[in-house]
Amino acid sequence: METPLRILLVEDEPTLRHGLVDLLEGSGHVVEAVGDGLEAAERGVSPEFDLVVLDLSLPGLDGIEVCRRLRAARPEVLVLMLTARVGEDDKVAGLDIGADDYVTKPFAARELLARVEALSRRLRRDGGAAPERIEYDGCLIDLGRCTAQRNGHPVNLTAREARILRLLYQNRVRAMTRGELLEKAWGASSNLQTRTVDMTIANLRQKIERDASTPKIITTVKGVGYAWGSA
């Protein structure tokens, strides 16, 4: 195991909840379990949790609303969504609202543990690095703290927005495709048909660009995707 995680498990079905607690604790993680959306939204904002394993269908508040509240309060927390729904729209809705990954029920124990381990590696990689500060075209971006400053005015970035900026900057010698960004920033299949990437980039440009209609930090490469800065 790469890094033991402090996990909040949110699952309303008692038998499955107990089984998942045993599975995750048996892999060395520290687990607290709750059974409804309201309690999940209250507990999930605590900084003691690294990861929230979140069922989509919950009493009180559904998983989408819980995820929305967690993202607003703690953009850095990892969210792994469990869903019995298999439609692409449901997966896209979860990713759009900020889930880092999803597992479709029924799932094998090995699959869930593999997804958790992948998120554990991401936490170790992102959390272990010193904050990265980049100044470009008059915008000061702090990737580690998920903030940016334009003309002295601070704005907050979501964890995914900071991840996108980090990916583009690290690969600034070339353009990145939408599929690459989906895989690396959302943990989604590159074949997923969605405008999620374009919508997220558009919102991000509003935060960091001098003029979002003529972007200088995140540029569009026609026929490919997006790149850092101008060629």
Task: Return the residue matching tokens 């690969």.
Answer: 171
CATH number of the domain residue 171 falls in: 1.10.10.10
Among 128, 152, 176, give the residue marking a domain's end.
128
Same domain flag for 162 and 76: no
**Residue 105 · residue 82 · CB < 8 Å:** yes
**pLDDT of the residue at 156:** 93
17 falls within a domain: yes
Same domain flag for 69 and 160: no
CATH number of the domain residue 116 falls in: 3.40.50.2300
Same domain flag for 222 and 197: yes
57-65 long-range Cβ contacts below 8 angstroms, 24+ apart: 57/12, 57/83, 57/84, 57/85, 58/10, 58/12, 59/12, 59/35, 60/36, 61/36, 61/37, 62/37, 63/10, 63/37, 63/94, 64/93, 64/94, 64/97, 65/37, 65/41
138 falls within a domain: yes
28 falls within a domain: yes
pTM: 0.58
Distances (CA, A) of 219 to 147, 175, 190, 213: 20, 9, 20, 11
Same domain flag for 67 and 141: no
**pLDDT of the residue at 128:** 42
Same domain flag for 77 and 139: no
Q: What is the distance between the alpha carbons of residues 43 and 180, in angstroms, rounded to a whole number? A: 33
Tokens of 42: 């209250």
**pLDDT of the residue at 131:** 42
Q: What is the distance between the alpha carbons of residues 214 and 102, in angstroms, rounded to a whole number? A: 35
Same domain flag for 83 and 190: no
**pLDDT of the residue at 129:** 41
183 falls within a domain: yes
Q: Which domain holds residue 28?
A: 6-128
3 state DSSP class of 146: coil
Q: What is the distance between the alpha carbons of residues 29 and 16, in angstroms, rounded to a whole number? A: 17
**pLDDT of the residue at 71:** 79
In 3D space, the residue among 37, 215, 63, 51 whose CA is nearest the CA of residue 118 turns out to be: 51
Per-residue pLDDT tens digits of the chain, which is 231 residues long: 456 888 999 999 999 999 999 999 999 999 999 999 999 999 998 878 889 999 988 999 999 899 988 877 777 788 999 987 655 566 666 666 778 888 888 899 999 999 999 888 776 655 444 346 888 888 999 887 889 998 888 999 988 899 899 889 877 878 899 988 988 888 766 566 668 899 999 999 999 999 999 999 999 999 889 999 865
Same domain flag for 88 and 161: no
Among 128, 158, 175, give the residue marking a domain's end.
128
137 falls within a domain: yes
1 falls within a domain: no
Tokens of 139: 């915008």
The total number of structural domains in the chain stands at 2
Same domain flag for 26 and 60: yes
Same domain flag for 146 and 45: no
Same domain flag for 56 and 159: no
Same domain flag for 116 and 157: no
77 falls within a domain: yes
In 3D space, the residue among 215, 196, 202 whose CA is nearest the CA of residue 95 turns out to be: 196
Q: What is the distance between the alpha carbons of residues 135 and 92, in angstroms, rounded to a whole number? A: 32
74 falls within a domain: yes
Same domain flag for 84 and 143: no
Among 89, 113, 128, give the residue marking a domain's end.
128
